[in-house]
Structure 1
C-alpha cells in the first residue's frame, strides 16, 4: 500500500488505514438478480437431463427462455448449447447423451463420486444430501441419486444462493473435472458446465491441483455397495459406469420406458 502523504493529519491516516484493512462485504443481489440466477440454474438442470420426448418438445420454450436472459457469460454459454441442441435429431441427441454421461467415467453426473469414489464416505454424503432436500421440503424420489447434477441444480434453483448452492460449491472440483472431460471430448454439453462454472467462485490453486490429480489418478476406491439408494454395485474406478439417468424435474417416463427408448 502506498504511504499516505505526511501532510495528511494523523487521525485521518489512521482511519484510512483501518478502512483499507476492513474486509469488503459482498453486495447482496437484488431480487431481480436472484430471480435470474434461479432461472439460469433451472435451465441448466433441464438441459442436463436425458433428452427424452418431453425435453425435446420443450426445446422451443427453453430456447426462448435462454434468449430472453440478460447478457452474461452464463447466458452466452447456454445460448451456444441450445443452438446445437435445436439442430440435432432426437435419436442423435439420445445417443450422444448416453455416450457422454453414462459410458464415460470422467463425465458422469454423480458429484459425490469425484469427491469420495466408491467409499463409505460417499454413502454418508448421499445421505446428507437427501436430508438437505427433505429439509427444503423437496421430494426427490424421481429415480435418481441425490448427487445427480441436474437434481443438485434443481435444489439450488429452488432454495437460493446460500444453503441451496452449498452442494455446488462443495463439489466444485468435480464440476470442474466434468467440464474438462466434456471439453476434451468436444461435447456441446461443455457449454452447460461452463455456464455453471461462471456462477461459482473462481477455483483456487488448490482446486486446480486437486482437479489435475483427479484427472490423473481418479477418486478414492473402496468396494462398498450403495444399496440404501438402490444404486446396486459399483464397478472399480477403471470401469465405472454411473447409474442410468432419469429426469428429476420434468415429468419423467418410467425407468422401463426409458430403457426401451435407448434400445
Structure 2
C-alpha cells in the first residue's frame, strides 16, 4: 500500500452517519480527492479516489435526511452489513473481548485521541481515521482485517444491486470499493474467497462468528 491518507480520511468521513457536518465538509473532501486523483499517473493508482468520488456524487445529489434514513436501514437494521471488523472474524465473545482491547491499545499507542461515540473500537470509520493519522498502525489493522473489509464490500455490492432497481441511494458501496482498491493484489470475487483469506478459524467458545447477538446496535442508529 502506498501513502493514501487522504483516501482513508475521506472514506472515514463518508462512512460515518450522514449529517449536516458531513454536508459542510463535502466541498473540502471533493477538492482533496480530485487533487489526489489528478496527481496519480496510472489508473490503478487513481482507482481508490475514483470510487470515492463516485460516492461523493451520490451524497451530493441526495438530501441528507434521506441518506440518514438509508444509513440506518443499511448499517443498523440490516445485520448483513456490520461496520465492526472483528464481527466477521471473532464470533467467540471471550476472544472478541480480547481483540477489542487490542484495538483500544493500538489507538493509545498511536497517540490518536478517539471519541468512540458509543461505538466499539473496531468500527471501520475509526480504523480508517487511524490509518490516516498513523499509517503504520492503521494499515496493519486494515491488512489484518482485509477479509472483513472485503466481505463488507461484497455484501454492500449485493445490496446495491437491489437498491439500483429501487432507485435507492447507496453511496457506501463505492466507499468500500475505494478502500479495497488500496490493498495490494486483486480482491476476492465472492464470499467464499473472502472467507478463505482469513485462513482456518480460531478456537471459539460461546457464540459463533456472524451470530447476530454479537453486533452492537444502538437505539438511535450508532454514533450520531
Q: Identify the structure with bigger relative contact order (alpha carbons < 8 Å, sequence gap 6+).
A: 2
2:181 match: secondary structure: helix
Give the alignment of 1:29-40 within 5 angstroms. Answer: 34=3, 37-40=4-7
Query: Offset at 1:188?
Result: 2.5
For the 8 Å contact 1:45–1:154, the answer to whether it is kept is yes
Q: May I ask how many residue pairs the two structures share in their alignment?
A: 197
* 2-structure distance, mates of 1:221, 1:100: 29
Match of 2:19 in 1: 52
1:107 match: secondary structure: coil
Match of 2:48 in 1: 74
Query: Offset at 1:79?
Result: 0.9
Match of 1:111 in 2: 85
Partner of residue 141 from structure 1, selected from 115, 133, 149: 115
For the 8 Å contact 1:106–1:177, the answer to whether it is kept is no
Match of 1:92 in 2: 66
TM-score, normalised to structure 2, is 0.78
Give the alignment of 1:181-196 within 5 angstroms. Answer: 181-186=155-160, 187-196=170-179
TM-score, normalised to structure 1, is 0.67
1:153 and 2:106 equivalent? no
* 1-structure distance, mates of 2:185, 2:31: 29
Task: Describe the shift of the 1:57–1:90 C-alpha distance in structure 2 as closer, same or farther (beyond 3 A).
Answer: same
* 2-structure distance, mates of 1:91, 1:208: 32
- Greater gyration radius: 1
Q: Which runs of 5+ in 2 are unaligned?
A: 39-45, 161-169
Partner of residue 64 from structure 1, selected from 28, 31, 34: 31
Q: Which runs of 5+ in 1 are unaligned?
A: 1-27, 225-235, 247-257, 259-263
Deviates more, 1:139-148 or 1:172-181: 139-148
Task: Describe the shift of the 1:145–1:101 C-alpha distance in structure 2 as closer, same or farther (beyond 3 A).
Answer: same
1:222 and 2:206 equivalent? yes
